[in-house]
Amino acid sequence: MTKRPGFPARNALSPAPAPSRDRTLPGVSRPQPTGAPIAVQGLGLDSGAVRARMVSRLAAQGIADQRVLSALGTVERHRFVDSALVNQAYEDTSLPIGLAQTISKPSVVGRMVELLLAGAPGVKLGRVLEIGTGCGYQAAVLAHVASEVYSIERLRGLHEKARANLRHLRLPNVHLLFGDGMQGFAQGAPYAGIIAAAGGEAVPQAWLEQLAIGGRIVAPTVMRDGKQALVVLEKTAREVRQSVLETVHFVPLKSGIA
């Protein structure tokens, strides 16, 4: 069991709880079945076949939840990376997005979202809290598998970048917040799932308190050896169960806003 830290000092969320209405609507195509290997060059990155090829590779790596694969095949990852890096958008690699932050590998996004959904097999997940919006890619993926997504970012530059990236999609169930992710977002609680894109020494107490009974937290956490591991916390009426999974590497979890 991860030791529960005390509540960190409260930082006021800015803007106030009113969720951003710069949302996103899928005018995006569904992934098409793949046959022979498809060359990305010359197809156009908005082609569904390019995303379908990525999804096929992720499925071969072990991601099995069709809800996750469908979401990854729908969201156009190249719209969330800098123009100089778009040709790498559908490779299984993390890419810089500015302010010393990165967009996670598609396989990592798929793995974490699949773990989050494991507590709700076969149905759409309820309300989800994402800690660390980054460029907005994972929030867009979550929008296809959850009824509502609250995503909080502590770096104003990235908050604004995510807002711009998501604007053209107009997803009505995504709410972008600028604030201290270590405090969570109590106004939206309880959450069926909480997913973090940064790793701290322990899962903040605020997240555990804002998690619904039966909900899950998926977050990188620093272990005793100083390395990060992916941790899943499951909240029951009597206890919080912890599972420590594979080693991962995320940016550090920090408090405050910048």
Q: Check if 29 is active-site.
A: no
CB half-sphere exposure, 84, CA atoms < 13 A: 4
Active-site residue, from 70, 104, 151, 255:
104
Beta carbons of 127 and 192 less than 8 angstroms apart? yes
Q: What whole-number distance in Å separates Cα of residue 68 and Cα of residue 251?
A: 24
Q: Measuring CA to CA, which residue among 87, 73, 95 is closest to residue 45?
A: 87
Pairing of strands 146-153, 125-131: parallel
Determine if residue 217 is left, alpha or beta; phi over 0 gives left, psi from -120 to 50 gives alpha, anything else beta: beta
Q: Would you say the C-alpha torsion 141, 235, 64, 124 has a positive or negative sign?
A: negative
Would you name the residues annotated as active-site residues?
Answer: 104
